[in-house]
Amino acid sequence: MTLSYDELRALDARHVWHPFTQAGTAKPSILALGAKGATIYAADGREYLDMVSSWWVNLHGHANPAIAQAVADQAGRLEQVIFADFTHEPAARLAHRVCKRLPEDLNRVFYSDDGSTAVEVALKLAHQYWRNRGQHRSTYIAFEGGYHGDTAGAMSAGHSSGYFEAWKEMLFPVETVPFPATWDGDQDVEAKELAALDALDMLFSTNPDHVAAVIIEPLIQGASGMRMCRPNFLRKLEAKVREHGSLLILDEVMTGFGRTGEIFACVKSGITPDLICLSKGLTGGFLPLSMTVARDGIFEAFLGQDLSKAFLHGHSYTANPIGCAAGLASIDLLEAPSCLERIKAIEAIHRRRLDGLKGLSNVAHTRLTGTVAALDVIGGGKGYEAVVGPKMKAAFLERGLLLRPLGNVLYLLPPYCIGDGELERAWDGVEEVLRHLAK
Ligand code: PLP
């Protein structure tokens, strides 16, 4: 039985609960029929350029034929197998391929399903690492404005606006230090970095031998507004964590797989974490999959003759073979020289178009790292509650652009397959809307 467009929308409205949505006031969802490259085709005949890579996951375009083929082949061969006692080729090969691109010591992959669970695993591993070594370390340090996901541990480590208010009694306390967010022409960056490092020092000295780990989104804090810091700060942060004998967790759920212009933000910054969380781009945007990669030394602390030191954690779909096959196909595409060239081309267009907006009275704090461009829009409020956000979103949708401002922060984070012409068209739309708002 085929259903009409209206019938499908009615079913959705009756039965489906959408994330981050106030169903009481939300407009009916746009019904996507298909997508190709950077374009999403809606049932009402409209087309949308996906300028947010569908929540930052898509790298090589929707319905990429190479990944689609790998998924189909794997689904016909081995769709899923229990991941205790068993393993499979895509899991072993994908772990190897990712580890080859990470700093040398990071060699042990623990698979899970999404960004939140990758972070949850990292927090639990850090805790048990110390326990296995006979120490009780329960203090975690995170950065103001950080977002690490929506499960309880990830929310505890996060510090994102009022979004977690409803569950604050469920969460465990985490110490926070300022994030030295910077932008084009920022004169205060050194002072902000020093203040962050001083705050860190203070926490280490008031909790000697108690800090299990420091967690950070390296180079770009995503959900809190594409706030960017310098590689130099990350190097100083790593040195500080080493000096105090704690662990460093990098949450590269968003920044991984080329987003920052390098394969990983840690590679771009020249640092080696103890644990790194990867997801989103891992499968090129096809399937939910994630990994938490640990240094060899962390893994070794879990070895023993019985279960007491083992990591007793897992998920039903751990290391799903179809997801891993998608991951392998995506990495093949990512490693092709043409992909790197696209990333560079996107960055160059972003730079030129951002610079072109600097004269507008309602534009501030332009910033760019790799394929992520962002700016603050002045007027219409600040933060997630800013009224200018939904207003801009509606204006962009009217122009066939899928852009979701984070409050008053406007950002472009396209899939790498986007053509120069498509990207210029998106920036034209951005410029038009900003000029209109500035009047
Ligand atoms: N960590 C970071 C840095 C993220 O940006 C996100 C999602 O936006 C997450 C973790 C959570 O990932 P997921 O939504 O896949 O659970």
Give pLDDT tens digits for 221-267.
999 999 999 999 999 999 999 999 999 999 999 999 999 999 999 99
pLDDT of residue 299: 98
Distance 58 CA to ligand 1 centre (A): 14
Residue 363 has pLDDT above 70, yes or no: yes
Give the domain range for residue 124. 78-334
At residue 218, φ and ψ (nearest 5 deg) are -75, 135
pLDDT of residue 163: 84
E strand or H helix that includes residue 330: helix 321-335
Among 277, 308, 334, the domain boundary falls at 334
Q: Is 56 among the annotated ligand-binding positions?
A: no
**Residue 180 falls within a domain, yes or no?**
yes
**Residue 301: CATH number of its domain:** 3.40.640.10
Which residues does residue 182 pair with via DSSP β-bridges, in sequence order? 228
Write the pLDDT tens digit of every residue in 399-413.
Answer: 999 999 999 999 999
Determine if residue 208 is left, alpha or beta; phi over 0 gives left, psi from -120 to 50 gives alpha, anything else beta: beta
Atom of ligand 1 nearest to the CA of 154: 10
Pocket test for ligand 1, best of 121, 280, 411 (most atoms within 8 A of CB): 280
24 and 113 in a single domain? The answer is no
The amino acid sitting at 395 is A
293 and 329 in a single domain? The answer is yes
pTM for this structure?
Answer: 0.97
Portion of the chain with pLDDT greater than 70, in percent: 100
Q: Tell me the pLDDT of the chain averaged across its residues.
A: 96
Alpha helices in 207-264 (DSSP H): 231-243
Q: Which residues line ligand 1 (CB under 6 A)?
A: 114-116, 119, 147-149, 217, 222-223, 251, 253-254, 279
Domain count along the chain: 2
Residue 385 has pLDDT above 90, yes or no: no
**Residue 70 falls within a domain, yes or no?**
no
Query: What mean pLDDT comes out for the span 116-145?
Result: 97
E strand or H helix that includes residue 213: strand 211-216
Hey, how many other C-beta atoms are within 10 angstroms of the C-beta on 236? 18
